[in-house]
Amino acid sequence: MTAYWFLLISALIVVIQNRIFKAMGLRRVTYSRQFDRRTCYEGDEVALVETIANEKRFPLPWLRVESLLSASLRFGHDHASNLDISSGQFQQNHRSFFSLMPWRRIRRTHHVTAARRGCYELSTVTLTAGDLFGLSADSNTLTFSERLIVYPQLVLPEDLALPPRSWQGDMSVKRWVVEDPFRRIGVRPYRSGDSLRQVNWNATARTGDLQVHQLDTTADYSVLIVLNVEDHAEVWKTINDVETIEQGIRIAAGTASHLIRNGMEAGFASNGMLVDDLQSVIYAPPSGGEAHLYGILEMMSMLVIERQMSFYDYLLLLSERLDRPTDLLLLTTHTDDRVIEAIDLLTVEGHRVVIKQLYPESEANAS
């Protein structure tokens, strides 16, 4: 009889604690996670900070936190001992176990290396809490909008030839030079052809001769960098040699950075797709300034290596879109007859075209 009552009371305790933990488990349990910055470059290390808090008087015997992240975000070997990582080719599953006393907050920082360019979202995290005996569990899925934009590595090959009028390193060549009406560096005597709008009347009154503003000169040089995501001429949509195209993106990023940070203009175009808008045409006209550069780099980060249209059709589209002579740098793995035909059309229309051939890593090393 004693054993019977003992079993009955034990079962009753198990049921009661189960109901209590099920009702109270995830109540007032908060979880947050965010990167310590919004952007970084390929290969940089960032910090992923997560905070778990039990903001009530009731303890949590166990709490499981599960999430999926891209396998390109590589966690350091010094991550927390209660973090179990199962990594596949594209995704990795994270599972952590906690025991939280009342009014307890846990904050931990993971050091993560962004191994590849891209746009990485923290997406969802599932919290699961249960009773002392693990008989049942209560789950809640949280959705996050946090993003990490990973810019491509900046690569500028030594053998890269920019379109005519460009310069590289310490070698000076001819550049188009124009007067900048917003940069005045002094006055000079009036010459035939000068606009009366540029007359400096104070200097004219002081010298007795007609004087005009002396304007500084700036280099009017810009390049549109065009990336072909096709890895061979007969490709349909899926790209097999992704690494060669990735290297092309790094060269495009390095070239754009080189031009803009040396006071010139750069643009970016591609026949690929953007992760947020698979239907939009990738085209950023040449411009200057740091803001424009980071806009281009973000566009390159969002680039999906899938063909939206053939490179031939894309070059024809560019010929319709470009309303003035433009210097084009084409980064491509191939130049078949149709591509050459489109390049000839661009040349006839007054555009200057330079082709940078992209090779697989094995061929590049052999050469």
CATH class of the structural domain 222-366: alpha beta
- Kindly list the domain boundaries of the chain, sorted by start residue: 16-151, 179-219, 222-366
If you write DSSP's letter for every residue of 240-295 in order, what string do you get? S-HHHHHHHHHHHHHHHHHHHTTT-EEEEEESSEETTBTTS-EEEEEE-SHHHHHH
- How high is the pLDDT of residue 42? 96
pLDDT digits (tens, 9 = 90+) for 16-62: 556 656 656 678 889 999 999 999 999 999 999 999 998 888 888 88
9 or 166: which leads in pLDDT = 9
What are the CA-CA distances from residue 261 to residues 182, 216, 249, 265 (Å)?
20, 19, 18, 9
CA dist 201 and 210 (Å) reads: 8
The two tokens of residue 2 are 């004693």
CA dist 45 and 75 (Å) reads: 9
Residue among 313, 322, 320, 310 nearest 286 (CA): 322
Yes or no: say if 266 and 296 are a contact pair by the CB < 8 Å rule: yes
What are the CA-CA distances from residue 340 to residues 171, 313, 330, 360 (Å)?
30, 12, 12, 21
193 or 254: which leads in pLDDT = 254
- How high is the pLDDT of residue 228? 96
171 or 88: which leads in pLDDT = 88
pLDDT digits (tens, 9 = 90+) for 329-345: 999 999 999 999 999 99
What's the start-to-end Cα distance of the chain, in Å? 89
pLDDT at 181 over 60: no
CA dist 150 and 115 (Å) reads: 9
- How high is the pLDDT of residue 89? 75
The two tokens of residue 30 are 């908060």
Amino acid code (one letter) for 187: V
Number of H-type helices and E-type strands within the chain: 7, 21
CA dist 8 and 16 (Å) reads: 12
Q: Minimum mean pLDDT among 142-151, 176-185, 271-280, 357-366: which range?
A: 176-185
The two tokens of residue 253 are 């990023």
Beta bridge mates, 352? 327
Strands laid side by side in the 45-54 sheet? 29-35, 45-54, 104-114, 73-75
pLDDT digits (tens, 9 = 90+) for 141-163: 888 888 999 999 999 888 776 66
Q: How many CB atoms lie within 10 A of CB 241?
A: 18
227 or 211: which leads in pLDDT = 227
If you write DSSP's letter for every residue of 110-123 in order, what string do you get? EEEEE-S-EEEE--
pLDDT digits (tens, 9 = 90+) for 85-142: 887 778 888 888 888 888 999 999 989 999 999 999 988 899 888 766 666 667 888 8
3-state secondary structure (DSSP) of residue 64: strand
DSSP 344: H
Mean pLDDT across the chain: 82
Domain 16-151, classified CATH 3.40.50.2000, yes or no: no
The two tokens of residue 99 are 């025991």
CA dist 185 and 213 (Å) reads: 8
The two tokens of residue 16 are 């009661």
Q: Do the bridges between strand 124-130 and strand 91-100 make them parallel or antiparallel, or are there none, so unpaired? A: unpaired
Average pLDDT over residues 261-284: 90
pLDDT digits (tens, 9 = 90+) for 295-319: 999 999 999 999 999 999 999 999 9
